[in-house]
Amino acid sequence: MNLKGIISGLAVLCGILMFSVCADAAEIVVESSSGSAGSTAEISVSIKPSGEEAETMNAYAVQLTYDNEVLTPVVQGTDLLGEDLYAVSSLTGGVFVAGLAEGYDNVLVVSWADADAIEFSEETELFTVQFKAADEVSVDSTAIELAVLQYAYSDSELAGDSEISVTAGAITFNVVTSGTLGDVDGDGVVDGIDASIVSRYVVGLQELDEAYKDVADVDGDSTVDGIDASIISRYVVGLQSF
């Protein structure tokens, strides 16, 4: 995926964009996420107006930089050109592209453009990305940095990257550094006993050692609940993986 090609493509798609500077700009908001070693976590990137007034947008291009020894973006489908699509757009209409930057395996470029600008008066989700963590990691967390490459906030005004602020310049992906996912009794095997322990913990009939709460959270939502117990049970009988 060529960065210059993406930026040029935005201008072509919008057609009428002009290089002018606006007084105010929107904010890009990156939500943090958590997961476990070997599991998948989803991050969300949103936009919100800089003040109380509604703003318009008809194009953006951002890049996410991550540690590719820890994280791998998950392919979500294909775009209009048949290229791998590494994100899911939350906006209707327009042209959406999300691919690896040419020559890089740790930079993901996400862009969207529409000749008809959208209006937003509150925080609005732009897209989501899923990252798969390595099965074995040596860190407690890893940052995902976001940078704005280009942003058009009306059908006749194109802002420079310095015009847009990022409320969270990086997000943290928490990963488990020890233990086997689902093995809450630490015997090296994920079986029905583990599912039973999690089930009893959820209803308050059994304590769960703090050291095993991360491996009990098999869906990576930072909460040990009945869903985790169900997933472990299904895993044991071969109906699900994690």
Q: For 179-212, what is each residue's pLDDT tens digit?
A: 678 888 878 889 999 999 999 999 999 988 776 8
Report the alpha-carbon distance of residue 118 to residue 92 in Å, rounded. 10
What pTM was estimated for this model as a whole? Answer: 0.64
Q: For 142-162, what is each residue's pLDDT tens digit?
A: 788 888 888 887 655 555 544
Q: For 209-240, what is each residue's pLDDT tens digit?
A: 776 888 898 888 888 999 999 999 999 998 88
- Residue 198 DSSP SS3: helix
- Residue 132 DSSP SS3: strand
Q: Average model confidence (pLDDT) for the chain? A: 79
Q: Would you give the DSSP letter of residue 203?
A: T
In the chain, the amino acid numbered 2 is N
